[in-house]
Amino acid sequence: MSKYYLGVDVGGTTVKLGLFNEEGLILEKWEITTKTENNGIAILPDVAKTILDKLVEKNIDKQDVIGVGVGVPGAVDINGVVNTAVNLGWGVLDIKQTLSTLLDIPVEAANDANIAALGEMWKGGGIGYQNLVAVTLGTGVGGGIIINGKILTGCNGAAGEIGHIRVNFQEEQRCNCGIKGCLEQYASATGVVRLTKKHLQENKLPSILRESEITAKVLFDAVKEGDQLAIVIAEEFGEYLGNALASIAGVVNPEVFVIGGGVSKAGEILLTFIQKYYKESVFFANRETKFALAILGNDAGIYGAAKMVFK
């Protein structure tokens, strides 16, 4: 009899789900709306219902489902308990127990950035590696750390929260977290825009950046065209991020950094600027660490969630 796995990525707007076979191939991918009202009380029952409906539709016996992996936007401890997921309306919730009771199928749960890292290791930019740090340069800067093929959770689920490593002790503006000079202030999508606008204001150089709406892709496209101001900004971006990754390497000694999120749409050129400063700052034992772009995009979560329960 064939065996199956499910990966579930719970976001603030939609829940993404994936059904996998025993070869680890995705058979079907679908979404439902995340109902965050009433402290998100309906979310897990809705997830259970759509999974059970899918099993009926596919004529899959519940006994043939090995497990369901779930990622959520919050700190999840090693027992599958989340401690506050603001975007879902949740306080403390035992996801593993609640959902496994609803489904009568084994469940594992973890933080969404961590499962995305696991997904990239399994089927994405980190394929072939067992020790990686995934860096998501999105609205904020998130991270997920995989050690010997397993998620590094930390004592209260906050391992890999690398967006708030301080990289500039001279910064005068505060990060959303309240501290000044966090990596997120320079390397997130909003951080790149902020950094670019600052340079456009302070510098009189002509630049094609003055004529367009700024994104990381626009910035790095300008770099490719030889725009001098864009190069200055890209260097500063690379310096902060490269230095931060050098510190992280000194702590966990990974094989590869996998860079994803909206900013990574700028492409391979991004890695050039990061690696330049990384190599200048890093301890020699980590000088040969690889760099790769993430490739699964928004599907990294469902892949990683399934991988958590994949035997």
Asked if 284 interacts with its own copies (CB under 8 A), we say yes
Q: Which is nearer to its own copies, 136 or 286 (CB)?
A: 286
Say how far apart CA 223 and CA 70 lie, in whole Å: 39
Q: Which two tokens stand for residue 127?
A: 């394929």
The site string for its own copies over 170-189 (x = CB under 8 A, - otherwise) reads -------xxx----------
Asked if 156 interacts with its own copies (CB under 8 A), we say yes
Minimum gap (Å) between residue 171 Cβ and its own copies: 12
* Of residues 190-249, those binding its own copies (CB under 8 A): 243, 246-248
Tally of CB atoms within 10 A around 169: 7
Residue 202 makes CB contacts below 8 A (sequence gap 6+) with none
Q: Is the separation of the CB atoms in 90 and 70 below 8 Å?
A: no
Say how far apart CA 157 and CA 256 lie, in whole Å: 22
Say how far apart CA 146 and CA 133 lie, in whole Å: 6
Q: Which of 31, 46, 235, 255 binds its own copies (CB under 8 A)?
A: 255
The site string for its own copies over 10-29 (x = CB under 8 A, - otherwise) reads --------------------
Say how far apart CA 219 and CA 29 lie, in whole Å: 33
Spell out the SS3 assignment of 106-149: CEEEEEHHHHHHHHHHHHCCCCCCCCEEEEEECCCEEEEEEECC
Asked if 96 interacts with its own copies (CB under 8 A), we say no
Q: Which is nearer to its own copies, 43 or 182 (CB)?
A: 182
Please state at what angle helix 216-224 crosses helix 189-202, rounded to 10 degrees.
Answer: 60
Cα dihedral 82/83/87/88 (nearest 10): 50
The site string for its own copies over 115-144 (x = CB under 8 A, - otherwise) reads ---------------xx-------------
Asked if 50 interacts with its own copies (CB under 8 A), we say no
Q: Which of 29, 268, 285, 298 binds its own copies (CB under 8 A)?
A: 285
* Of residues 53-82, those binding its own copies (CB under 8 A): 75, 78
Q: Which of 61, 64, 250, 268 binds its own copies (CB under 8 A)?
A: 250
Q: Is the separation of the CB atoms in 28 and 34 below 8 Å?
A: no
Q: Which is nearer to its own copies, 6 or 308 (CB)?
A: 308
Count of residues binding its own copies (CB under 8 A)? 41
The residues of the shown chain that bind its own copies, judged by CB under 8 A, are 75, 78, 130-131, 145, 147-148, 152-162, 164-166, 169, 177-179, 243, 246-248, 250-255, 280-281, 283-286
